[in-house]
């Protein structure tokens, strides 16, 4: 018990001494106003629209919508009297590959190179005169390579589906292959073969379709295309020798139905740094309060030293006292002598 009281007293004395020393320490002077800060020019980052290169591939079926098989007689020959003529061309399968660039989410361009498999061509021309009627049977193949520069406008995206329209211009390299002529009847023109002539023509196309984004960078397409790819002509030389006539396929058009895929390679958004004019920001000067006036620290009296509590002894056992004898009254002294 005594030791606890001594510890409490020592701790209180230490705290009082520390507080007195802290009060006597010199206080810091107020800081001067900070200098005005001039900020350096800050570069402004302007993000460019995100673009992307892409590769594409398509496969499709071309249905001939128009075929004009035109007979052009050699001026050195007597013009025949054509009674009727017919021509037909089989459908074709084609493949194309291409590369393009997306400028943004609604405008893109690409270039495609296309190979169209050869299509059978059969034609018949009937000739007539006052003396006889006959005709010629023609057979040939048409092969074409199409090169187009295309522009597309995407019309918005709903649930990964994007309708689009487009337009293309370019060229078509057409080959009139394996042309043969077989004369029929007495007025037939005999037999002959062509020269496998090829011609480069202007071509143009209209596109419409629907694209489905399988992932952000892979898209599948179903589309329709109207293609006009020019004309081609060839001459037939008779087996027995003649002035060759010319046969022409003109106004070649096709209704194409296509399935395609696009692989997209996104480009990181570019940044342009534009230097701004220096800007000086004026900071308001801080208002400083006057320093407080410190009062002298009070003088603390040393803590009293506590004396140990006295040890109390047990009270002594008092022995019983003898009863006090009261003086007995004495008889009066006699006055007698």
Q: What is the pLDDT of residues 208-263, one digit of tens each?
A: 999 999 999 999 999 999 999 999 999 888 876 678 888 999 999 999 999 999 99
Tally Cβ neighbours within 10 Å of residue 93. Answer: 12
pLDDT of 249 reads 92
**What's the burial of 137, exposed, middle or buried (CB within 10 Å: 0-12/13-18/19+)?**
middle
24-65 pLDDT, tens digit each = 555 555 666 665 655 555 555 545 456 899 999 999 999 986
**What's the burial of 151, exposed, middle or buried (CB within 10 Å: 0-12/13-18/19+)?**
middle
- Rounded to two decimals, the pTM is 0.64
In degrees, rounded to 5, the angle at the alpha carbon of residue 139 between the alpha carbons of residues 138 and 141 is: 140
Whether 181 shows a pLDDT value over 50: the answer reads: yes
280-307 pLDDT, tens digit each = 555 566 666 666 776 777 776 777 776 7
List the chain domain ranges. Answer: 51-267
Domain 51-267 class?
A: mainly beta
CA pair distance 290, 103, nearest whole angstrom: 65
pLDDT of 337 reads 43
Mean pLDDT of the chain: 79
pLDDT of 295 reads 74
C-beta of residue 211 within 8 angstroms of C-beta of residue 258: no
pLDDT grade, residue 72 (50/70/90)? confident
């Amino acid at each position: 018990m005594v030791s606890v009281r001594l510890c409490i007293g020592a701790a209180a004395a230490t705290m009082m001494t520390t507080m007195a020393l802290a009060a006597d320490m010199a206080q810091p002077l107020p800081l001067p106003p900070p200098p005005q800060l001039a900020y350096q020019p800050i570069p402004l980052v302007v993000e460019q629209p995100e673009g992307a290169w892409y590769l594409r591939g398509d496969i499709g079926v071309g249905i001939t919508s128009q075929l004009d098989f035109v007979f052009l007689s050699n001026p050195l020959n007597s013009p025949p009297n054509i009674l009727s003529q017919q021509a037909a061309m089989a459908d074709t399968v084609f493949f194309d590959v291409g590369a393009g660039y997306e400028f943004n989410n609604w405008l893109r361009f690409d270039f495609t190179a296309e190979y169209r498999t050869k299509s059978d061509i059969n034609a018949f021309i009937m000739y007539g005169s006052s003396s006889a009627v006959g005709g010629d049977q023609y057979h040939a193949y048409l092969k074409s390579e199409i090169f187009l520069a295309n522009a597309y406008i995407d019309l918005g995206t709903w649930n990964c589906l994007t309708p689009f329209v487009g337009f293309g211009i370019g060229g078509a390299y057409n080959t009139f292959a394996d042309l043969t002529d077989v004369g029929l009847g007495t007025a037939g023109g005999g037999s002959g073969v062509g020269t496998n002539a090829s011609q480069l023509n202007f071509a143009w196309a209209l596109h419409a379709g629907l694209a489905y984004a399988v992932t952000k960078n892979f898209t599948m397409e179903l589309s329709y295309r109207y293609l006009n790819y020019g004309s081609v002509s060839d001459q037939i030389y008779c087996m027995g020798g003649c002035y060759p006539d010319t046969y022409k396929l003109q106004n070649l058009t096709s209704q194409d139905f296509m399935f395609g895929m696009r692989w997209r390679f996104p480009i990181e958004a570019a940044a342009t740094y534009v230097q701004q004019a220096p800007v000086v920001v004026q900071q308001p000067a801080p208002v400083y309060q006057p320093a407080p006036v410190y009062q002298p620290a009070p003088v603390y009296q040393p803590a009293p030293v506590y004396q140990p509590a006295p040890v109390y002894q047990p009270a002594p056992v008092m022995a019983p006292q003898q009863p006090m004898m009261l003086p007995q009254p004495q008889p009066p002294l006699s006055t007698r002598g």
